[in-house]
């Protein structure tokens, strides 16, 4: 009996191979392999860094300074506690203005937390600035009272609001994308970088700029009891919104410890901007793309060696990057809300974006061009019909965040943008020419600044040559352009990155780390690339690439010798930092240790060429290479008696000449240093002929520097 056709088993139709995805994936893998060949070929140390995975004991040995007895965690708990207090205060205080301008229910709990902390950190910085300008830093108890009053008011308002209206804020719904497994895997991959950032953020500073002004200027302001003009440190008169957290740290610990511990508290808070940026990426990309993309973007950003290095060093680019990202995130929401029927909420997001963009400019001048200007333009074109009121409102909010800094500069120096362009106090034509020469677009050997060869070199530096870049970013940013679902975001973020690159290359002195504020936008694009397709082979490939890239970045960081790796050594011991018996390098110079132990009470030291006085715990006068030379002002065209009277008038007991630094400044292409200051002048006139200075024998390398004791008149 024939079998009815209807009962015949049907042959399963084979699932067609997604040709477009297969072609894109193949091209991407080929391009990735080519890029990695160039990436590893540019630096032999990258391949050697992989060996760190096989010698974890040596890494741990470096973290404890080669001696288990040197481990000290109790003092780190002290620093972590006060840094945590500042972050908690920021979250509480920042929630009040956020709720006033945004209202309730528009943000997820994570978005609310991130925005509140960022707004609060900027607000605390402004409060510290205003309090310091009024001379209030010498009254820590009053400052504590003001902060607690602000925090108490914010908590009271939030409590009353919850009592009257049911709290409608909750987590935004997430796509059904294996949420738990993805969150856990990405979080576990991020933990090692969080540990590095937190431990490194607590470390005493070792980097030149940080010891010269990022932490030195807060130290001087705190010791003076007020924020004031610094004629000897040109950098201390620029916007230092991130560095004011060190001043705040010094004020908060004043009843328990001295300025040094407060500086570490502030440095730890500055390091905290990196995890805050990662959370901001998670919140923003999750809202606009997906949870998987958000976790990937956060992990990619947090694992970039540049991010970790800047965070643990104490530089301020991490804060600029955080504010820049959150300003864009708020602008994205504003763009969505403009089409809704809630104009008040829409205006609130615009104000939030403006304030955060202004906060980035309150940390560093370039953010005016990198962040404020393009977002102001964006705000006017966020809707179909251009609006002039939106940019005006945006700029008004930005001015609220950065305006006090420009007003301070105008009052102290006569130039809101001191020391740029228009000069101002202490800016002689000679010093302005020196500054402009050092900060101009760098020329080549023929004096050209804008050639294809230079453009190629700059691109190579930021794409594969720099030691601190991640091999994940550029390939995934390129892949993001194949995402059809998020085309508008890709175009907008790419335009911001292109604008930043153009301004950086055309108008700055092309320091690589100045581009860090654009890195969160690139990580956002990388997160989009991770989810450009749901095809199973790509999902597996993406996860493998992420894991490999993140592990490599971690190995680069733990094997690097370009930062102080004694992450578990007692901070009390690192403060003095006597040389180890093994002869290893010391963070604190022998001259500074000697001066700390020798300068009598009521006296101070004079540093010439040495502009890193952070570790000096005795009074000292110094100047940067871009400021008037104090030694020359005092000594030039004066006889022996006049010179001696000036030194006695200023209570100078010792004078240190850092000849190695002076020679570096005078080297071709460097910043320059006053020609009048020479070793022959010091020895022939001040030592042999006039008997004003007497050399102090110290064990230093030849040519490094020389320390002299001032011979008092009665002893001459």
Q: What is the DSSP string of 13-77?
A: PPPPP-HHHHHHHHHHHHHHHHHHHHHHHT-HHHHHHGGGGG-HHHHHHHHTTT-GGGB--HHHH
Alpha helices in 65-167 (DSSP H): 74-102, 109-133, 140-164
CATH of the domain at 625: 3.40.50
DSSP-assigned beta bridge partners for residue 696: 707
d(CA 382, CA 98): 21
- Asked whether residue 638 is assigned to any structural domain, the reply reads yes
**The pLDDT of residue 219:** 98
Question: What token pair was written down for 283?
Answer: 């919140």
Task: Kindly state whether residues 356 and 217 are assigned to the same domain.
Answer: yes
pLDDT at res. 168: 45
Residues 6+ apart with CB under 8 A from 336: none
Strand pairing partners for 604? 652
DSSP state of 580: P
**Is position 323 within any domain?**
yes
Q: In sequence order, which residues have a C-beta less than 8 Å from that of residue 12 and are 6 or more positions away?
A: none
Place of tokens 């001048």: 365
pLDDT at 56: 79
Give the domain-ending residue among 509, 544, 559. Answer: 559
225-269 confidence digits (pLDDT tens): 999 999 999 999 999 999 999 999 999 999 899 999 999 999 999
pLDDT for residue 698 is more than 90: no
pTM of the model: 0.92
User: Does residue 607 sit in the same domain as residue 531?
Assistant: no
The string of DSSP letters for 179-229 reads: HHHHHHHHHHHHHHHHHHHHHHHTSPP-SHHIIIIITHHHHHHHHHTS---
535 lies in the same domain as 595: no
Radius of gyration in angstroms for the set of CA atoms belonging to the chain, rounded to a whole number: 28
Domain end (from 559, 578, 607) = 559
Q: What is the 3-state secondary structure (H, E, C) of 295-363?
A: HHHHHHHHHCHHHHHHHHHCCCHHHHHHHHHHHHHHHHHHHHHCCCCCHHHHHHHHHHHHHHHHHHHCC
What is the average pLDDT score of the chain?
89
Query: Is residue 190 situated within a structural domain?
Result: yes
Calculate ∠ Cα 448-452-457, nearest 5°.
90
Q: How far apart are CA 569 and CA 67, in angstroms?
A: 9
Whether 18 maps to a domain, the answer reads no
Task: Provide the pLDDT confidence category of residue 9 given band limits of 50, 70 and 90.
Answer: very low
Domain boundary among 559, 574, 602: 559
Encode pLDDT of 559-587 as tens digits.
887 888 899 999 999 999 887 644 456 78
- Residue 608 and residue 540 share a domain: no
203 versus 166: the higher-pLDDT residue is 203
368 belongs to a structural domain:
yes
Are the C-beta atoms of residues 494 and 479 closer than 8 Å to each other?
no
CB 531 within 8 Å of CB 289: yes
Same domain, 627 and 675: yes
**With bands split at pLDDT 50, 70 and 90, how would you rate the model's confidence at 161?**
low
For 668-693, what is the mean pLDDT?
Answer: 94
Q: How far from each other are the two terminal CA atoms of the chain, in whole angstroms?
A: 131
Nearest to 292 by CA among 603, 612, 623, 542: 542
Tell me, yes or no, whether 613 and 553 share the same domain.
no
* 612 band by pLDDT with thresholds 50, 70 and 90: very high
Q: Establish if 580 belongs to a structural domain.
A: no
Same structural domain, 554 and 595: no
Contact call for residues 591 and 654 (beta carbons, < 8 A)? no
Tell me what percent of the residues of the chain surpass a pLDDT of 90.
Answer: 69
What 3 state SS string does 356-367 have? HHHHHHCCCCCH
Helix 373-380 and helix 343-361: axis angle, to 10°?
160
Residue 5 DSSP symbol: G
Instruction: For 356-402, write each residue's pLDDT tens digit.
Output: 999 999 999 999 999 999 999 999 887 665 677 889 999 999 999 99
Shared domain check, 527 and 613: no
Neighbours of 59 (CB within 10 A): 15
* pLDDT tens per residue across span 278-301: 999 999 999 999 999 999 999 999
524 and 624 within one domain: no
Whether residue 304 sits in one domain with residue 232: yes
- 141 in a domain, yes or no? yes
325 neighbors 283 (Cβ within 8 angstroms): no
Question: Which one, of 230, 307, 264, lies nearest residue 614 by Cα?
Answer: 264
Residues 525 and 464 in one domain: yes
Q: How many domains does the chain have?
A: 2
Per-residue pLDDT at 714: 59
**Same domain membership, residue 594 and residue 553:** no
Helix H or strand E segment including 694: strand 693-696
> 617 is in which domain, residue-wise?
588-715
Asked if residue 25 is part of any domain, the answer here is no
Q: 177 — phi, psi (to 5°)?
A: -130, 50
Per-residue model confidence as pLDDT tens digits over 48-62: 888 777 777 788 888
Residue in this structure with the two tokens 């301008």, named with its chain if needed = 101
pLDDT band at 534 (very low <50, low <70, confident <90, very high): confident
Tell me how far CA of residue 596 lies from CA of 43, 203, 356, 592, 654, in angstroms: 41, 20, 41, 6, 11
């Amino acid at each position: 009996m024939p079998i009815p056709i209807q009962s015949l088993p049907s042959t399963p139709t084979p699932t067609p191979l997604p040709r477009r995805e297969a072609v894109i994936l193949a091209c991407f893998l080929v391009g990735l392999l080519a890029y990695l060949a160039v990436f590893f070929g540019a630096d032999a140390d990258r391949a050697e860094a992989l060996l760190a995975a096989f010698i974890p004991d040596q890494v741990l040995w470096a973290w404890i300074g080669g001696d288990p007895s040197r481990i000290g965690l109790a003092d780190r708990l002290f620093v972590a506690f006060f840094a945590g207090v500042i972050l908690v205060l920021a979250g509480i205080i920042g929630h009040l203005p956020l709720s006033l301008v945004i209202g309730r229910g528009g943000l997820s709990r994570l978005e609310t937390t991130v925005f509140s902390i960022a707004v609060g950190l900027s607000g605390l910085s402004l409060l510290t600035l205003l309090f310091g300008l009024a001379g209030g830093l010498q009254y820590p108890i009053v400052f504590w009272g003001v902060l607690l009053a602000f925090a108490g008011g914010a908590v009271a308002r939030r409590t009353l609001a919850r009592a009257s209206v049911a709290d409608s804020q909750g987590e935004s719904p997430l796509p059904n994308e294996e949420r738990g497994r993805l969150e856990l895997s990405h979080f576990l991959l991020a933990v090692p970088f969080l540990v590095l950032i937190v431990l490194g953020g607590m470390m005493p500073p070792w980097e030149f700029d940080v010891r010269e002004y990022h932490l030195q200027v807060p130290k001087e302001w705190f010791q003076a009891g007020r924020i004031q003009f610094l004629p000897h440190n040109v950098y201390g008169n620029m916007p230092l919104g991130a560095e004011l957290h060190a001043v705040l740290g010094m004020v908060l610990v004043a009843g328990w410890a001295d300025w040094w511990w407060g500086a570490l508290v502030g440095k730890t808070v500055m390091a905290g901007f990196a995890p805050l940026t990662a959370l901001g990426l998670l919140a923003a990309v999750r809202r606009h793309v997906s949870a998987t993309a958000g976790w990937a973007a956060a992990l990619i950003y947090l694992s970039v060696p540049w991010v970790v290095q800047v965070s643990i060093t104490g530089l301020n680019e991490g804060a600029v990057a955080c504010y820049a990202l959150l300003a864009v995130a708020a602008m994205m929401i504003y763009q969505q809300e403009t089409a809704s029927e809630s104009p008040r909420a829409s205006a609130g997001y615009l104000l939030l974006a403006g304030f955060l963009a202004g906060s980035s400019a309150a940390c560093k001048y370039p953010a005016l061009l990198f962040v404020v200007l393009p977002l102001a333009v964006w705000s006017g074109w966020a809707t179909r019909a251009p609006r002039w009121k939106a940019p005006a409102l945006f700029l008004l909010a930005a001015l609220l965040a950065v305006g006090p800094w420009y007003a301070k500069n105008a009052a102290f120096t006569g130039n809101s943008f001191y020391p740029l362009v228009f000069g101002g106090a202490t800016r002689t034509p000679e010093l302005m020419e020196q500054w402009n020469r050092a900060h101009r677009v760098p020329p080549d050997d023929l004096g050209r600044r804008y050639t294809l060869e230079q453009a190629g070199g700059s691109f190579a530096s930021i794409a594969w040559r720099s030691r601190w870049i991640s091999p994940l970013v550029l390939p995934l940013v390129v892949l993001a352009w194949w995402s059809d679902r998020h085309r508008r975001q890709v175009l907008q973020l790419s335009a911001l990155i292109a604008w930043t690159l153009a301004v950086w290359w055309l108008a700055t002195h092309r320091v690589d780390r100045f581009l860090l504020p654009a890195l969160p936008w690139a990580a956002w694009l990388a997160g989009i690339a991770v989810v450009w397709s749901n095809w199973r082979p790509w999902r597996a490939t993406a996860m493998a690439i992420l894991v490999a890239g993140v592990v490599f970045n971690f190995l680069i960081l733990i094997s690097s010798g370009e930062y102080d790796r004694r992450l578990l050594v007692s901070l009390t011991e690192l403060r003095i930092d006597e040389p180890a018996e093994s002869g290893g390098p010391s963070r604190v110079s022998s001259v500074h240790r000697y001066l700390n132990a020798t300068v009598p009470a009521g006296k101070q030291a004079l540093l010439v060429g040495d502009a890193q006085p952070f570790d000096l715990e005795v009074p000292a006068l110094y100047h940067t290479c871009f400021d008037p030379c104090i030694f020359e002002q005092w000594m030039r065209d004066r006889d022996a008696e006049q010179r001696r009277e000036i030194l006695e008038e200023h209570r100078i007991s010792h004078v240190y000449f850092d000849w190695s630094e002076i020679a570096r400044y005078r080297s071709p292409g460097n910043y320059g240093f006053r020609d009048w200051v020479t070793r022959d002048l010091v020895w022939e006139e001040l030592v042999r002929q006039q008997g004003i200075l007497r050399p102090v024998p110290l064990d230093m390398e030849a040519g490094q520097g020389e320390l002299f004791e001032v011979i008092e008149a009665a002893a001459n």
